C-alpha cells in the first residue's frame, strides 16, 4: 500500500497560516496596495469571486497584453504577496511547539512520517520550520532524512543557520535527471515555494489563474506534476487530503483520473468533511443543480473524512484520532 499526503492552506491554518479569504484582508492593508487605487478596487471586486489569486491572474494577463501600462501593478501586487509570505513565515517562529501534545504515538511528526510521499500546494515554510528541521523523518526510524527533489540550496543564502531549510533560498538543480534518494521521504511543493528562486533569479511561485500554463514553463514543476499523477495512479494508492479546497482544476483532474481509472482511495480532513465536493459545486444553490465531476469522484473514491482540526485530532480527541488512523490499516 502506498500512503500519500496532499496539503493545502487549511493544513497550515492549524498553526496560524492564512486562508485565501484572510490573504485578502492582509493584502488590502499592504503599503504596496494602499498606494495603488487600481489594485485596491480590483481586490475588492475579486473578493467574492476567486479572491486575491483571481486579482493576481487579471494583473498578470494585463501585463502580458500591455507591459508598458501594467508593470507597476504587477510589481506592487507581487511585492505585497511576498511581504505576506515573509510575515507568515516569521510568525511560525513564534510558536513554541509544532505538536499539540507530548505522546509520541500521537504527534503530528510521527503521523507525517507514515506517508511514502508528501505533496503540498502551500508555499509557506511551516514544514521546513517544524518538521524537516527537527529531523522527525529520521528519528521516526523509517526514513534517513527528507528530500526536496530537483532542488538545491543557493550557497550563502542562509539568514542565520546554514542547516535550516527555511532560512536558505533554493533553486532548481542544473541536472535535469531529477530524482531523489529512496531512503529519504520526498517533499514535493507542487506550486513552488516562498524561498525558491528560478535560475534567472525570479521567484518560483505558481499563483493566479493560469497555474497549469505556468507549471508547463518550469521543467522542474512539470516533472513534479508528472510524479504527482504517477504516484496517485498506483493501483494500491491511498491519498489523504488535508486543508485543500478542491478549487484547482489541474489538481482535481489528476485526482478524478486516478479515482476513476486506477481505484484511488481518498480520505479528506476539512471543516466541510465529506460535503466539500458539494460545497464547491457552482450549481449547489442554483435553481437547477448539476452533479459535478468532483462529486462523482468523491462518491467513487471517498473512504472517510474528518471535519475536525488537527489540534483536535492530535490533541485529546481519541475517537477522531482513531478514525483518521484507520486510513493506514
> What residues does 238 pair with on adjacent strands?
3, 265
Among residues 107, 97, 133, the alpha carbon closest in space to that of 16 is found at: 97
Residue 140: its pLDDT value, please? 62
Q: How many angstroms separate the CA atoms of 208 and 188, rounded?
A: 20
pLDDT digits (tens, 9 = 90+) for 253-308: 999 999 999 999 999 999 999 999 988 888 777 777 888 888 999 999 999 999 99
Other CB atoms within a 10 A radius of the CB of residue 194 amount to: 22
On the question of pLDDT at 156 being above 80, the answer is no
18-24 long-range contacts, Cβ below 8 Å, gap at least 24? 18/84, 18/88, 20/51, 20/52, 20/53, 20/245, 21/51, 23/51, 23/52, 23/84, 24/51, 24/52
DSSP calls for 65-88:
H-HHHHHHHHHHHHHHHHHHHHHH
Q: Summarize the confidence of residues 65-82 as an average pLDDT.
A: 91
Q: How many angstroms separate the CA atoms of 44 and 268, rounded?
A: 31
DSSP 173: -
Compare 287 and 4 and report the one with higher pLDDT.
Answer: 4
Compare 186 and 157 and report the one with higher pLDDT.
Answer: 186
Q: By the 8 A CB rule, do 257 and 296 touch?
A: no
Helix (H) or strand (E) holding 268: strand 265-269
Q: Summarize the confidence of residues 112-124 as an average pLDDT.
A: 96
Residue 286: its pLDDT value, please? 76
Number of Cα atoms under 13 Å in the Cβ half of residue 167: 11
Give residue limits of the domains in the chain: 2-15+99-328, 20-92
Q: How many angstroms separate the CA atoms of 294 and 302, rounded?
A: 11
Q: Summarize the confidence of residues 104-119 as an average pLDDT.
A: 93
Strands 203-205 and 192-197: antiparallel
Cell of 126: 511551516
Q: How many angstroms separate the CA atoms of 237 and 249, rounded?
A: 21
On the question of pLDDT at 242 being above 90, the answer is yes
Q: By the 8 A CB rule, do 17 and 123 touch?
A: no
Q: By the 8 A CB rule, do 242 and 305 touch?
A: no
Q: How many angstroms separate the CA atoms of 184 and 171, rounded?
A: 19
pLDDT digits (tens, 9 = 90+) for 176-215: 888 899 999 999 999 999 999 988 777 898 887 778 888 9
Q: How many angstroms separate the CA atoms of 85 and 23, rounded?
A: 10
Residue 27: its pLDDT value, please? 94
Q: How many angstroms separate the CA atoms of 122 and 92, rounded?
A: 14
Q: How many angstroms separate the CA atoms of 39 and 320, rounded?
A: 43
Residue found by looking up cell 543564502 in the block: 157
Amino acid at each position: 500500500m502506498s500512503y500519500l499526503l496532499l496539503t493545502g492552506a487549511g493544513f497550515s491554518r492549524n498553526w496560524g497560516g492564512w486562508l485565501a479569504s484572510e490573504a485578502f484582508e492582509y493584502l488590502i492593508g499592504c503599503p504596496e496596495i494602499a498606494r495603488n487605487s487600481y489594485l485596491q478596487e480590483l481586490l475588492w471586486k475579486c473578493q467574492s469571486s476567486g479572491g486575491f489569486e483571481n486579482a493576481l491572474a487579471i494583473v498578470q494577463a494585463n501585463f502580458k497584453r500591455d507591459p508598458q501600462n501594467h508593470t507597476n501593478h504587477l510589481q506592487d501586487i507581487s511585492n505585497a504577496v511576498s511581504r505576506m509570505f515573509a510575515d507568515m513565515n516569521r510568525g511560525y517562529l513564534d510558536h513554541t511547539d509544532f505538536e499539540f501534545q507530548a505522546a509520541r504515538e500521537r504527534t503530528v511528526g510521527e503521523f507525517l512520517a507514515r506517508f511514502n510521499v508528501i505533496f503540498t500546494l502551500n508555499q509557506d515554510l511551516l514544514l521546513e520550520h517544524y518538521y524537516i528541521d527537527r529531523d522527525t523523518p529520521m528519528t521516526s526510524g523509517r526514513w534517513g532524512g527528507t528530500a526536496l527533489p530537483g532542488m538545491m540550496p543557493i550557497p550563502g543564502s542562509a539568514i542565520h543557520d546554514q542547516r535550516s531549510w527555511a532560512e536558505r533560498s533554493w533553486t532548481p538543480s542544473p541536472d535535469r535527471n531529477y530524482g531523489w534518494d529512496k531512503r529519504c521521504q520526498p517533499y514535493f511543493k507542487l506550486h513552488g515555494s516562498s524561498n525558491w528562486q528560478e535560475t534567472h533569479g525570479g521567484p518560483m511561485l505558481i499563483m493566479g489563474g493560469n497555474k497549469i500554463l505556468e507549471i508547463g514553463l518550469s521543467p522542474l514543476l512539470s516533472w513534479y506534476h508528472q510524479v504527482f499523477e504517477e504516484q496517485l495512479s498506483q493501483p494500491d494508492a491511498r491519498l489523504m487530503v488535508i486543508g485543500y479546497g478542491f478549487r484547482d482544476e489541474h489538481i482535481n483532474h489528476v485526482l478524478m483520473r486516478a479515482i476513476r481509472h486506477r481505484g484511488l482511495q481518498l480520505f479528506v480532513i476539512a471543516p466541510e468533511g465529506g460535503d466539500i465536493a458539494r460545497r464547491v459545486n457552482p450549481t449547489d444553490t442554483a435553481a437547477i443543480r448539476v452533479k459535478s465531476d468532483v462529486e462523482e469522484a468523491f462518491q467513487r473514491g471517498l473512504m472517510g473524512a474528518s471535519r475536525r482540526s488537527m489540534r483536535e485530532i492530535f490533541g485529546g480527541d481519541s475517537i477522531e484520532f482513531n478514525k483518521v488512523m484507520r486510513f493506514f490499516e
